[in-house]
Structure 1
Amino acid sequence: MATSSSSSKCGVRYIGNCGLKVSNLCLGAMTFGSTEGAMFHLPGQSDEAASHAILDKFVEMGGNFIDTADIYSAGRSESIVGSWLQKQAREQIVIATKVRFPMGAGPNDVGLSRKHILSAVEESLKRLNTSYIDLYQTHAWDDGTPIEETLSTLTDLVRQGKVRYLGLSNVTGWQLQKIIDLTKYKHYEPFVSLQVQYNLMCRETEWELGEVCKREGLGILPWSPLKTGWLTGKVTRSGAPEGSRVEHQGKDDTAKLPFLRDYAKEEQTWQILDVLKAVAEESGKSIPQVALKWLLHQETVSSVVIGAKKMEQLVDNMGAGDDSWKLTADQLKRLGDVSDIMPLYPYSIMDAVQVQRRRNGLLVL
């Protein structure tokens, strides 16, 4: 099976409706740094030297967009990116990070309050060794803080020049629309992107979040595009590779995320993998490349957040960003059909009654 060569270059796109251009593949830095003492405990993390080598190769292959978060490896991910950034031409790199989760034991060391955001952004700037953050994202909704407090604080950061653009992550449809509407009504700084789980095994994102982003001009940045390893082709009915995240979460009964082993019980999982394998063979590409390319064909997607613990993983994944090849209409239909899920109420009814009322692909009431 063919894979990408190291000479492959990924393309560039605008993020949503804003003027910022980024590589169509974004390097996620969640795998950088030891997770000892961190909120998320993950196997096979990269040390600083290995992380820098991956970052160097990513840029060499056309990447300019790097995503991290203060919570990743308890701040060590940001520090690793920051030490690497010192050796780069800063204006050529787009750095994204996030705020929301606990960074200490105090009652104000978590959330999206003005106090926590203002403290967190200063710490992120120090770790990243930069005077500004290109894309500052709220990592999840915070039910404990009035949304106006969060939005006004983020607006101040943009106007102070500490942040260039604003993004969201991990919100529901009503939360996303409420944020957008308040931003317009109160003249807060607008949001340009939504980072959310989206892949061939997670299509629920399309039901509301995708529709809101399409209508409001936000670019989607899919995380876990390979479903934590499920869509690499390495997981079989007999099990997952030793040391992989699928295998790790299959053993971890304390995991807060849905047990990935549960997907093995679903016949649709194996049907998706069968079609992925067939399309990969037809295209002369790897299974991960096809899974990533499917996302890049979705109109709301601006850049896909990939992660790599090994250099060969990165090089292969980067081949998906090469704009010189596309999936055919038939291949896209087969992948879409096999991964489709039956919508729940009210989406099922809304979709059915709007058949004759669609305008430019959007549902019209």
Structure 2
Amino acid sequence: MQVSFVCTDHRSMSRSTDDRLNRQNANSPNTGTRSKFKAVAMVARSLGQLSIQSVPSSSDQSMRTGMKYRNLGKSGLRVSCLGLGTWVTFGGQITDEIAEQLMTLAYENGINLFDTAEVYAAGKAEMVLGNIIKKKGWRRSSLVITTKIFWGGKAETERGLSRKHIIEGLKASLERLQLEYVDVVFANRPDPNTPMEETVRAMTHVINQGMAMYWGTSRWSPMEIMEAYSVARQFNQIPPICEQSEYHMFQREKVEVQLPELFHKIGVGAMTWSPLACGIISGKYDSGVPPYSRASLKRGA
């Protein structure tokens, strides 16, 4: 189960990059603290404590469940600090019944953010997610649904961030999700074969057409995000609001050093994934690779 937490509030105290890296290296966990970190991470994953800074919410749902909410980047979109992802699990490792139980448990405990992608289980994850939403009858306005576009199929025109694939890929995702729109559509990786202007214009187009409310990036470098922002400003297009980035004890610099600077400069927030490093921190691989674990699956599953 992929668990994401969203952070937009970073400490404003100015530090040089060297100071931050020195502090980061000094606090790098050793073998003796690994077990303690695992326990904290697992509890935090359940209770929503892996946030950098809490943002009070006066909503009834927040008071009822204890879930904290914050804005995604500098947009007005309010999201739960924890989100439920569908990579590998939905349409793959678990049955549809278990997927429904997980999503219901998350929703009833205040999680409103559910993330998927066209590539997850070759589109089956989106189908399972859409079926659950339809079956439960939850108000669409109470949900934040995000998906990612890049790997859509085997044909050359069914992948990448061209105008053609962004529009066609998102339409296909919406059909599988049985939704009229997603809240955020992410570019699932940079595309060196497509001009940045084309990608930005295509993302603006799907937003203007009502297929998405916002767009963001995933696994983009700060330089690539800045380029997209600059292109959007130059041509009066819509810039990305968020970067989806890997974040755990082995992968920290981008989220802790680079993204806060982007947030303060251009308002791009962060949505992080894999707090347990795809299960490595949980200890599940200490005795080898278990069957049906993520490490046992083919790339792109």
Provide the TM-score with structure 2 as the length reference: 0.73
- Which of 100, 105, 114 pairs up with 1:52? 100
Q: Equivalent residue for 2:198?
A: 149
> 2:78 maps to which residue?
21
Match 2:115 to one of 67, 80, 86: 67
Q: What is the alpha-carbon distance in structure 2 between the residues aligned to residue 122 and residue 143 of structure 1?
A: 23
Residue aligned with 2:129, SS: helix
1:118 to partner: Cα distance: 1.2
Corresponding residue of 1:117:
166
Distance 1:108 1:244 in 2: 31
Distance 2:80 2:258 in 1: 26
Q: How many residues align?
A: 239
Conservation of the 8 A alpha-carbon contact between 1:32 and 1:80:
no
Alpha-carbon distance, 1:244 to partner: 7.1
Q: Secondary structure at the match of 1:75?
A: helix
User: Once the 2 structures are TM-superposed, how far is the Cα of residue 65 of structure 1 from its aligned partner?
Assistant: 0.5
Counterpart in the other structure of 1:30: 87
Where structure 1 has 5 or more consecutive residues not aligned to the other structure, the ranges are: 36-44, 257-365
Q: Does structure 2 retain, via aligned residues, the 8 Å contact 1:134–1:165?
A: yes
Distance 1:214 1:200, change over 3 A: farther
Distance 2:226 2:104 in 1: 38
Counterparts of 1:133-148 in structure 2, within 5 Å, are 133-148=182-197
Aligned amino acid, residue 133 of structure 2: L
- Residue pair 2:67, 2:80 contacting (<8 A) in 1 also: yes
Whether the 8 Å CA contact 1:32–1:76 is kept in 2: the answer is no
Matched residue, 1:200: 249
Question: In the alignment, what sits opposite 1:186?
Answer: 235
Q: Give yes or no for contact 1:98–1:138 (8 Å, CA) kept in 2.
A: yes
CA drift of 1:207 comes to: 4.2
Point out the structure with max Rg over C-alpha: 1
1-side partners of 2:182 and 2:264: how far apart? Answer: 25
Looking at structure 2, the residues matched to 31 and 52 of structure 1 have their Cα atoms a distance apart, in angstroms, of 15
Equivalent in the alignment of 1:227: 277
Q: How much has 1:32 moved relative to structure 2?
A: 3.5
2:20 matched residue in structure 1: none
After TM superposition, list the pairs within 5 Å mapping 1:318-329 onto structure 2: none
Percent identity of the aligned residues?
28
Distance across 2 between alignment mates of 1:90 and 1:212: 31
Q: Which amino acid is 1:20 matched to?
A: L
Runs in 1 of length 4+ with deviation above 6 angstroms? none
8 A contact 2:70–2:80 mirrored in 1: yes
Q: Report the RMSD for the aligned CA atoms in angstroms.
A: 2.4
Query: What's the offset of the Cα at 1:146?
Result: 0.7
Q: Is 2:216 the counterpart of 1:167?
A: yes
Cα separation, partners in 2 of 1:235 and 1:85, compared to 1, 3 Å: closer
Equivalent runs, 1:1-365 vs 2, <5 Å: 9-35=66-92, 45-86=93-134, 87-101=137-151, 103-205=152-254, 206-232=256-282, 234-235=283-284, 239=287, 242-243=290-291, 245=293, 249=295
Cα deviation code 1:79-135 (max 9, x no counterpart): 01111111221110110001011x222220111111111111111111111111101
Partner of 1:161, secondary structure, is coil
Instruction: Quote how far apart the aligned CAs of 1:200 are.
Output: 1.7
Give the secondary-structure state (helix, strand or coil) at the position aligned to 2:281.
helix
Deviations 1:238-283 (A, max 9, x none): 53573474xx63x78x769xxxxxxxxxxxxxxxxxxxxxxxxxxx
Local SS of the residue matching 1:208:
helix
The separation in 1 between residues aligned to 2:275 and 2:107, in whole angstroms, is: 20
| TM-superposed deviation, 1:228 | 1.0
Query: CA, structure 1 residues 8+242, in 2 after alignment: closer, same or farther (shift >3 Å)?
Result: farther
